[in-house]
Structure 1
Amino acid sequence: MVCIMTHSREKKQMNVIYIVLDDVGYSALGCYGSEIKTPHIDSLASNGLRYNNFTVTPLCSPTRACLLTGRNCHSVGVGVITEIDWGPEYPNKRGKISDSAATLAQILQMNGYATYMAGKWHLVPGHESASSGPFDNWPLAKGFDRYYGFLLGMTDQYSPDLVYDNHRVEKPKEENYHLSEDLVDHSIHFLTDHLSVTPNRPFFLYLAFGAQHEPHQVPKPYIDCYDGIYDKGWDELRKERFARQQKLGIVPPTTELVDRNPGIKAWDTLTDDEKKLFVKFQQTYAGFLTHTDEQIGRLLTFLNDHNQLENTMIVLISDNGGSQEGNWNGSINDTAYFNGIEESVAEMLPHIDEIGGPYSSANYPKGWAQVANTPFKFYKQDTFYGGTHVPLIIQCPPAISDPGTVRSQFYHAIDITPTVLDLLSIQAPPMVAGVLQMPFHGVSMRNTFTKPTVPSNRHVQYFEMLGHRAIWQEGWVAVTYHTDGTPFDQDQWELYHVEHDFSQKYNVAKEYPEKLQELIALWWEQAKKYDVLPLDDHPYRKGYEGLQEGRTMFTFYPGMAHLPTAAAPKITLASYSITIPIFRSTSADQGVLLAHGNFSSGYTIYIKDNYVFYEYDYVGTVYQLKSSKPVPVGASVVSFEFRRELLMKGRGKLYVNDDVVGTIFMPRTLPFTISVEGMDVGQDRLTPVSKHYPTHHFPFTGKIEKAVIKILEAPFSKTPPARSIRIQVNETVFYV
């Protein structure tokens, strides 16, 4: 007789997926009151929970650091966006996650999980984003087995700066390419490999879209499906969203809609041209979000088809509220905002049909941003609820008792990862790679999955962003809007009893002065505890530049990978020279020698039809030089020299060998950011700086020995030295 013993297979550990949307305000999703079609995201809400009292930091990188580590952003070194490493004197703003705060990916990796990421990282210092590394702060070094996406805060949806694992790659060459589709393609590819070979191993997928951050870019049919929807304007749309929010129960019954933010015009007072342009901006945003929802739907279909949905926890959030970075009129040039430039309606209207396409980096005006943040006031970057209150949807079939309902407990991004580990019964390790770990600052939300009215485990939470500050405690919020250059002790704090005034409509500071002082004192206590200090309000700080710190000469060679702006030489507010020795075998050799930028702004040096050209694009105003004589066949040296005069003006000279072949006066140059797109040698890889190239990348067909950039004088300081003059360009301040 043969005895056969059977053993029940150990139940597979639950999979985890984080889906992070960018710049999606509290009301932007259909299941949070929007008219925008988001059926697949809405299905997550129907099968899971919506949280109506969930908060994040009001900026991209800090929220991502909170989400992945379960600790406050300043404590882990990510108090602001990571393009600028503020230097050793600001340990709270180093642009990278401290080794003492392991990410969820690292912890799950140590516990047998496969870990995959697709999309926006934004947790590496800008000077470390070049293809030469160092790679210590790239995704693979922070716990991910595979990675496909982009490293910094934004990229073009049609021509992105892509990284695969630890190296840059060209975008796929298929027609009608779009980054959001590509990110989901690679997510599905990673999971297909995983389920085919190691189906019993649990996985963690972190999918972070570039959407809805600008540039708002989406195929035209998605824009057209919102024809006529926004003609009634932002005042009426905000009221309609608020009414739906009340009906859906995602705002408390006593909530009141706040007034228009300061500076936003009543829709009925706008000109016909303003209305026409502003409607197109919002249609594009809406179409972009619907397109993103479709991609999420593709992932959900894949999971369902492979029997993974019932064993997967899905967390969907936005990293902050709707963005004010389109300024009052909206924007079609992504560099404008970062240089303090307001684009006029008259300048943008002739380009209205380009909005959403590959040669427009659209962003909507502030009026629509407040609609996105309904019922709240203010925006991304601000510590009012418009910047910090965002959607949170959690679908987790094995753990949630009443799907489709709303939870009202106050929580923060730092609470998500502790919740996941609690659900998985995984303890955070005390040491990772020999580094002692700081404790979690977040607490578990798990009990809300089965107890709708259980009190929150969170009792206090501070907020700080570029001097704006707030603190929540047990249903009260103290908040201050900081004006750049104002001493912090002169900021005017406001007080809101949000337990009864959900939208922060009524400032009760005068009625409860003792409560306000109590909360201000608590803010300083929390700031000290969580490394928020020292405070600083200068977003355009020069910062520490890693391997480039102190350098005035840079030599680049042909074949170099695309170099992000954050790692490229800083030529703004400085005199500089560019020298490029070349060899042309025949008079037919032509193409780009050096290019930095895209269709919004930047500069390029190229040879076309035997002549050398220099172009500088100041957000749509193009200065062009054509050499007065042809470039000789054989060896020659092409160079350009710019000598700054006064603040942002100067004179440029174009040389072939030692001969001056052109001069130009440039009355305006960009003060802070040349372009959000980086630099290439021998071609213009992503989107072209010049409209005059005969081909898209226009690669040089001759030989380039090298390209040498020299900084000929120190640029103006973007932080105040001991004796300085304060200069303001629109809303941007810097010091000379």
Structure 2
Amino acid sequence: MPHESRTAKSVQDPFQRDVLPIPDIKPVGLTTYDAKDPDTSYPPIVPLRPPAGAPNVLVILVDDVGFGASSAFGGPCNTPNFERIANEGLKYRRFHTTALCSPTRSALLTGRNHHSVGMGNIAELATSAPGNNSIWPNTAAPLAKILKLNGYSTAQIGKCHEVPTWETSPMGPYRQWPTGMGFEYFYGFIGGETNQYFPALYEGTTPVEPATTPDEGYYLNDDLADHATKWIRQQKSLMPDKPFFTYYAPGATHAPHHVPPEWADKYAGKFDQGWDALREQTFTRQKELGVIPADSILTERSPGIPSWDEIDENMRPVLARQMEIYAGFLENTDHQVGKVLDTLEDLGILDETLIFVIIGDNGASAEGSLQGTFNEMITLGGYGHIETPEFMSSRIDLFGGPEAYNHYAVGWAHAMDTPYQWTKQVASHFGGTRNGTIVRWPQGFSANNETRSQFHHVIDVAPTILEAAGIPAPTFVEGVMQQPFEGVSMLYSFDDAAAPERHETQYFEMFGNRGIYHKGWTAVTKHRTPWETGVDATMPAFDADVWELYDTSVDWTQAKDISAEHPDRLHELQRLWLIEAVKYNVIPLDDRFAERGLPELAGRPSLVSGTKQLLFGGMGRLTEGSVLSMKNRSYSITAEVTVPSEGAEGVVVAQGGLTGGHSLYAKDGVLTYCYNFFGVEHYFTRATKPLEPGTYQVRMEFAYDGGGIGKGGNVTLFLGGSPVGTGRIEQTEAFLFSADETCDVGNEFGSPVTTDYTQTAFTGSVAWVQLELGLDSHNHLISAEERLKVMMGIQ
């Protein structure tokens, strides 16, 4: 067995690896006066390497993909490279995640349950409670750090979303960024989602801009795969004897669902039958593939999701196009994975590389509303009524492109989780937590093109990799005693399909949705429905939640609730859930809305406070959370600029992008302010005279109408203290311009707030910009439910 050979080789290992960093031991022996003395002898310097035979490791984590999406697990989206890996490896058909992004990634990279490392929810909803503070404790050193300190080269490419929100500004601290957690190289994005055409990227901790534009063919999925292959080639060129750990986590297929049209067009007409028929078709294929047993039952459509027959006929073409785009997005992602695999094959290291492909960090996303959306910020911002059938139909050809920020309807998400109930966020049921996973390692096990049915969880990946590499779980890391791994290695199952499962008990919890798995039985209760986040949404008391019971040894899909027949077993599992919850910091349960949305009430630090903020020229890529929020109130923007003799052109300061935002800039030498309302309306105010050469202050003032949130107001522009133009904004955005667009001084990065300018860099100089808020804030009128809806929609 592979793990037996690891143990045998570790006996000859010259390094003691239970304390990290491995202590430097000074040689003991004769010290001579003259190096030419024949008795002068020192052992040669031995570079730190992992134990002999330790494999390269490639972990691929795809985003927001349900169990029933990929063709490798019977889904409608063609993923030939996933199938290729599966044909040469193993499919794990009972592998589980946490039902949400940040928690799954934290559990994957630490080998501990998500509450044990403070990530009980997404980082944006952190509280001061230990299980939800978003801070990985130093008693749980992440896998990348352990591998690096044992001689591995390490790189993370793609999505992070593991950084506490108050540590995401250019000032860090970078303790929990990838480079602080053991990855020697990072290229990707920090937040929960980013634009595939205008991404907010970092290389290490430095913001970087794409080398080309969407018009020139730029696409993030391509870019990430190219960086992954480039890093692997360089690593093997310069250190061929040193194994690597590459964590490749594309932002796909998280919203926005962006993909070049040729990928979506492959699926033209293939989803016209709707999501109900699609579930039936997928279910049949899954049985044929053996990824579910032949006697499995297709669960009913989850409550609240309309049948396809109920959909307005005018909306059906739009909804079908949403799914075509998603399918093309996933196929393109598979294509990028293929490029990385081809690189390994070209280098002759494919078979010696341990590969994990986890197809989804949770179930498919139901955060796009019941009808889907062209610009998710419209729906999240409370203006879903704008997206009428006529509005959506008029933009059907723009879906998936740079002008859109789209997400599919809940019905498609549920179909992508076939054959299970519910979706992402619902940790109680397998629709939120069961994700098809593939393992390939020809030099480590002989089985291929087989399925494995042992229950496993994402916390099992780290212990598996360490056992495969012959590296012990460290007792101390950087002087801190470590808490044990909470996952179990999967290595025992690689060559033994019949091996008794070793991960016998696992709790689940997210937003109060709770479940427990124990030796084939599951007890579950759904507390909250992902798409019910409006002002009328109310949460029941936790003790009022109704628990269900399933014997998954005979009911694979959790289709038949048998709690009434086995009340004693249900009570036993409920008690076990509570015991596990106490053990792993799940308690106190927290389904609060307003408190988790507001840092001061949640108990987490905030990046910005007060009513004034001074920014300086050259500052850029400032996240929306690191800049004063100027929504639902009056405000002013004042800047000191130097205008050259040839006149001014370009951005003084801009925030947001095509999904919404505002910009103060010079166009044809004239000071201009543009407010972009969700990309639907652009309101312009222009000065009546041009900017003269010299150094002076320019200013815009916005006088808010009041009377609620998202209202309009009047704009006045000033040059050197004198008014030079007025304008009107009829309505404003109440919550958030974007998930990933930023604030930039003297330039604009990402997508443009307006196409009124093509010159973004200010031709003169911007010394500083001061943002100042008025006293008429109406933010108190924002409901708790509305806050949470926006937070959750962009994670």
Q: Give the structure-2-normalised TM-score.
A: 0.86
Cα distance in 2 between the residues matched to 1:476 and 1:547:
42
Structure-2 change in CA distance of 1:699 and 1:203 (3 Å): same
Cα distance in 1 between the residues matched to 2:202 and 2:405:
21
Determine the structure 1 residue equivalent to 2:5.
none
- 8 A Cα contact 2:676 2:753, kept in partner: yes
Structure-2 change in CA distance of 1:691 and 1:329 (3 Å): farther
Task: Describe the SS at the equivalent of 1:525.
Answer: helix
Question: Pick from 561, 571, 578: which aligns with 1:507?
Answer: 561
1:197 counterpart = 2:238: yes
1:312 counterpart = 2:334: no
Question: Pick from 451, 460, 463: which aligns with 1:406?
Answer: 451
Unaligned ranges ≥5, structure 1: 1-8, 719-723
Determine the structure 2 residue equivalent to 1:114.
153
**263-272 or 279-288, larger mean C-alpha shift:** 263-272
Instruction: Note the alpha carbon deviations across 1:258-302, whole angstroms, 9 max, x for none.
Output: 122223322233333211101111111111111111111111111
Cα distance in 1 between the residues matched to 2:126 and 2:522:
30
1:592 counterpart = 2:636: no
Instruction: Note the alpha carbon deviations across 1:41-99, whole angstroms, 9 max, x for none.
Output: 1111111111111110111110001111100111101111123443xx32222334222
AA aligned to 1:265 is P
Shift of 1:231: 1.6
**231-240 or 58-67, larger mean C-alpha shift:** 231-240
Shift of 1:702: 2.7
Question: Pick from 755, 763, 771: which aligns with 1:709?
Answer: 771
Cα distance in 2 between the residues matched to 1:675 and 1:211:
15
Determine the structure 1 residue equivalent to 2:697.
636
Q: Residues 245-394 of structure 1: matches in 2 within 5 Å?
A: 245-317=286-358, 318-342=360-384, 343-383=387-427, 384-394=429-439
Determine the structure 2 residue equivalent to 1:451.
496
Shift of 1:404: 0.7
Identity of aligned residues (%): 36
Structure-2 change in CA distance of 1:378 and 1:432 (3 Å): same
Determine the structure 2 residue equivalent to 1:3.
none
Cα distance in 2 between the residues matched to 1:20 and 1:328:
27
Determine the structure 2 residue equivalent to 1:40.
81
**531-540 or 684-693, larger mean C-alpha shift:** 531-540
Shift of 1:668: 4.7
Task: Describe the SS at the equivalent of 1:353.
Answer: coil
Question: Pick from 634, 637, 647: which aligns with 2:708?
Answer: 647
Cα distance in 2 between the residues matched to 1:336 and 1:157:
19
Shift of 1:598: 1.7
Instruction: Note the alpha carbon deviations across 1:661-707, whole angstroms, 9 max, x for none.
Output: 325354453235555312111222110112322x1x62222322211
Structure-2 change in CA distance of 1:716 and 1:523 (3 Å): farther
AA aligned to 1:577 is S
Cα distance in 2 between the residues matched to 1:698 and 1:460:
56
- 8 A Cα contact 2:637 2:770, kept in partner: yes
Cα distance in 1 between the residues matched to 2:587 and 2:629:
28
Question: Pick from 568, 571, 576: which aligns with 2:630?
Answer: 571
AA aligned to 2:362 is N
Cα distance in 2 between the residues matched to 1:352 and 1:79:
38
1:583 counterpart = 2:668: no
Question: Pick from 483, 486, 496: which aligns with 1:438?
Answer: 483
- 8 A Cα contact 1:327 1:366, kept in partner: yes
Cα distance in 1 between the residues matched to 2:748 and 2:391:
26
Shift of 1:713: 4.5
Q: Residues 44-193 of structure 1: matches in 2 within 5 Å?
A: 44-86=85-127, 89-173=128-212, 175-193=216-234
Q: Residues 656-675 of structure 1: matches in 2 within 5 Å?
A: 656-657=718-719, 658-660=721-723, 661-664=725-728, 666-672=730-736, 675=739
Shift of 1:340: 4.5
1:617 counterpart = 2:676: yes
Cα distance in 2 between the residues matched to 1:644 and 1:415:
55
- 8 A Cα contact 2:677 2:731, kept in partner: no
Cα distance in 1 between the residues matched to 2:763 and 2:76:
51
Question: Pick from 682, 685, 692: which aligns with 2:756?
Answer: 692
Cα distance in 2 between the residues matched to 1:674 and 1:30:
33
1:215 counterpart = 2:274: no
Cα distance in 2 between the residues matched to 1:487 and 1:617:
41
Shift of 1:566: 3.3
Unaligned ranges ≥5, structure 2: 1-49, 529-537
1:19 counterpart = 2:60: yes
- 8 A Cα contact 1:83 1:124, kept in partner: no
Determine the structure 2 residue equivalent to 1:467.
512
1:560 counterpart = 2:605: no
AA aligned to 1:315 is F
Shift of 1:515: 2.3
AA aligned to 2:303 is P
AA aligned to 1:690 is T
Task: Describe the SS at the equivalent of 1:119.
Answer: strand
AA aligned to 1:705 is A
Determine the structure 1 residue equivalent to 2:32.
none
Shift of 1:361: 1.5
1:541 counterpart = 2:605: no
Determine the structure 1 residue equivalent to 2:266.
225
Kindly name which structure, 1 or 2, has the bigger radius of gyration based on alpha carbons.
Answer: 2
- 8 A Cα contact 1:476 1:497, kept in partner: yes
Cα distance in 2 between the residues matched to 1:261 and 1:346:
28
Question: Pick from 534, 538, 542: which aligns with 1:488?
Answer: 542
Cα distance in 1 between the residues matched to 2:129 and 2:788:
24
AA aligned to 2:765 is K
Cα distance in 2 between the residues matched to 1:419 and 1:227:
41
**622-631 or 407-416, larger mean C-alpha shift:** 622-631
Q: CA RMSD in A?
A: 2.5
Q: Give the structure-1-normalised TM-score.
A: 0.92
Cα distance in 2 between the residues matched to 1:731 and 1:263:
20
Cα distance in 2 between the residues matched to 1:509 and 1:651:
57
- 8 A Cα contact 1:335 1:676, kept in partner: no
Shift of 1:499: 2.2
Cα distance in 2 between the residues matched to 1:441 and 1:690:
50
Determine the structure 2 residue equivalent to 1:240.
281
Task: Describe the SS at the equivalent of 1:225.
Answer: helix
Shift of 1:430: 1.5
Shift of 1:726: 5.5
Structure-2 change in CA distance of 1:509 and 1:357 (3 Å): same
- 8 A Cα contact 1:12 1:202, kept in partner: no
Cα distance in 1 between the residues matched to 2:176 and 2:685:
43
Shift of 1:579: 1.9
Structure-2 change in CA distance of 1:198 and 1:675 (3 Å): closer
Instruction: Note the alpha carbon deviations across 1:181-218, whole angstroms, 9 max, x for none.
Output: 11111111111111112111111110001110011111
AA aligned to 2:750 is L
Structure-2 change in CA distance of 1:326 and 1:27 (3 Å): same
Cα distance in 2 between the residues matched to 1:526 and 1:10:
35
- 8 A Cα contact 2:660 2:737, kept in partner: no
Shift of 1:171: 0.8
- 8 A Cα contact 2:322 2:408, kept in partner: yes
How many aligned residue pairs are there?
717
